[in-house]
Structure 1
Amino acid sequence: MLNLQKDWHCYLKKGNSKELIKQIPDNSIDFLLTDPPYNIGKHSTGNIPLPGRTPMNNDVADWDWVDFNPEDWVEDFLRVLKPTGNLFIFTSYNQLGRWYNCLDHRFDTSNFMIWHKTNPAPKIFKAGFLNSCEMIFCCWNKKHTWNFISQKEMHNFLESPICMAPERLKEPKHPAQKPVSILKKMITIASNENDIVFDPFMGVGSTGVAALELKRKFIGFELDEKYFQAGKKRIMEYKKNVSNI
């Protein structure tokens, strides 16, 4: 079991987060912010062939072909979250209802946010809508931690470009890497300095970087070796740069 009273700023662990989450004490997490698999791999049509050009990359990561069941995670999420904590989960159209059914009756309030990507991939054949929005399912109880910025800033709508260079990693390339800017907005609203932010699917560590930049503590788990090492490197480099200031 992790000793969260120690003077540490982040705890990163490679492995199966379903097992690693057992190390986290009850009622210890201030903000659980995560981006689990969407289960859209089976709906992918693969790369899009273009006449006389390189095919447009439409691949879905290997990990999204494996069935991910929100129902399997609810009890552990509820166990580790403080009564004053907030739970934000990036999700997709096919999983939103499942998260709602699992969590709505377990919290005083459930809500959602939309992240609008201002530069989504184009629809080459113009046969549908551009995939420019992602949903974030949100839950909290009465007296939860909340930093209301202003009426103008508190719409449940975030807008930014998708993660681009130089922030976006070229190797390994994570198809779902989120911009630090939108993660910082959520962390600012839903937690306070020195609070613990937890991401059981940390990918290449964007939530960790955002949390540390805002003087929060961070716990991150990741199963994939390449993503874990990339995320760990980003977070350690940030810590090193801060200590040298």
Structure 2
Amino acid sequence: MKERAPRNRTLSCEAKEMAALSKGLLRLERAATVDEIVNGIIHQDFLEARHFLPHVLADLVILDPPYNLTKNYNGRLFHAKDADAYRAWFDDIVSSLVPLLKPTASVYVCSDWRTSALVHPVLEAHFHVRNRITWEREKGRGAKANWKNNTEDIWFCTMSENYHFDVEAVKLKRRVIAPYRNGDGAPKDWEESDSGNYRLTHPSNFWSDITVPFWSMPENTDHPTQKPEKLIAKLILASSRPGDVVFDPFLGSGTSAVAASKLGRRYCGVEIDHEYCCWALKRLGLAKTDPTIQGYAEGVFWERNSLNGQKAARSNSAQDTVPSLFDA
């Protein structure tokens, strides 16, 4: 295990923990029912597990496959492919997902700017493509002869014209810099408080309020492409109802399952790497005693830099014991 600085909160599992957690993992060798796999993590390659998964399982799919980049996932190397080969690989994945979806289901697909061009035609062939969200990452290496790459995409798709979308659940609380007032001096479409002036705004398809997990955040792991809980929470709140099933065929360190659990949804995830599965189970256990999501409180998402308002909300919250409830 890596040596950590005293303040480093990166989650990991010792060998004894992994041995104990492994007992809670699933492996499919026959056709499974929904009840057998819901709120469970399947330690298996999705390309194998898909043959045993029940049809009409999911209300929402979070699909975060390897991008078309050569990357090391805990010793398992994914090699970049030529465009046609990656499209064929991705189409095989999506074709396997379609039978698992309810007719009213939504699908969110993560990608980078290069991979987006490859996945989009595949998604259009199988789903109704509704939008492309672009979210700003703080991390990313600078380039001397190019623009720094610090955004990623999320494609929003649905199975049909009949789908659930709750815009009220994903509004963003923004600081008002130059507030308008009505003729009587009362705030116009904004809220005045001791900590500042704020407005609840409709979410757009560009998100600049996300913090990528790092060493001081308790949700952080050593997974190389871990998504933030706040990011996934937005997708879950917008496109599922309490009790719905959220399915993730490339679960990684478990973020979609953890966010689903914290938000009162059921979940099921498939992950090929054993250690990642154990991290996910450990995070799910911790979520039972700490259901907070950093950057989300009192039913709204906060701007990263609204520090005064966030501190005020935190002081009024029953979850005030968690020091990293809000983005820095």
When normalised by structure 2's length, the TM-score is: 0.62
Look up the SS of the partner of 2:133 in the other structure.
Answer: strand
Q: Is the 8 A contact 2:69 2:80 kept in 1?
A: no
Q: Is the 8 A contact 2:63 2:109 kept in 1?
A: yes
Which amino acid is 1:166 matched to? Answer: M
Q: Does 1:146 align with 2:165?
A: yes
- With over 3 angstroms needed to count, the CA separation of the structure-2 counterparts of 1:76 and 1:122, relative to structure 1, is closer
Matches within 5 A, 1:186-225: 186-225=235-274
Take 1:109 and 1:229, find their aligned partners in 2: how far apart are those partners? Answer: 34
1:129 — aligned with what? Answer: 147
Return the offset for 1:100. 1.7
Look up the SS of the partner of 1:63 in the other structure.
Answer: strand
Structure 1 unaligned blocks of 5 or more: 42-58
Matches within 5 A, 1:49-88: 60-61=72-73, 62-65=76-79, 67=81, 69-88=89-108
Count of residues in Structure 1 that have an aligned counterpart in Structure 2: 221
Bigger drift between 25-34 and 205-214 goes to: 25-34
Look up the SS of the partner of 2:132 in the other structure.
Answer: strand
Which amino acid is 1:139 matched to? Answer: C
1:2 — aligned with what? Answer: 32
1:49 — aligned with what? Answer: none
Return the offset for 1:9. 5.6
Take 1:235 and 1:15, find their aligned partners in 2: how far apart are those partners? Answer: 19
Return the offset for 1:177. 0.7
2:46 aligned residue (17, 23, 35): 17
Which amino acid is 1:18 matched to? Answer: L
Return the offset for 1:240. 5.9
1:167 — aligned with what? Answer: 218
Look up the SS of the partner of 2:65 in the other structure.
Answer: coil
1:181 aligned residue (230, 245, 253): 230
Matches within 5 A, 1:41-56: 41=70
Structure 2 unaligned blocks of 5 or more: 1-30, 172-199, 292-328
1:200-234 deviation line (CA, Å, top 9, x unaligned): 11111011110001100000111111111111211
- With over 3 angstroms needed to count, the CA separation of the structure-2 counterparts of 1:27 and 1:154, relative to structure 1, is same
Q: Is the 8 A contact 1:31 1:198 kept in 2?
A: yes
Q: Is the 8 A contact 1:204 1:228 kept in 2?
A: yes
Take 1:104 and 1:120, find their aligned partners in 2: how far apart are those partners? Answer: 30
Q: Which runs of 4+ in 1 moved over 6 A?
A: none
Structure number with higher relative contact order (C-alpha < 8 Å, ≥ 6 residues apart): 1
Matches within 5 A, 1:78-117: 78-117=98-137
Look up the SS of the partner of 1:115 in the other structure.
Answer: strand
- With over 3 angstroms needed to count, the CA separation of the structure-2 counterparts of 1:227 and 1:66, relative to structure 1, is farther
2:309 — aligned with what? Answer: none
- With over 3 angstroms needed to count, the CA separation of the structure-2 counterparts of 1:203 and 1:5, relative to structure 1, is closer
When normalised by structure 1's length, the TM-score is: 0.81
Two-structure CA RMSD over aligned residues (Å): 2.4
Take 2:273 and 2:283, find their aligned partners in 1: how far apart are those partners? Answer: 16
Identity of aligned residues (%): 25
Take 2:139 and 2:33, find their aligned partners in 1: how far apart are those partners? Answer: 42
Return the offset for 1:15. 0.9
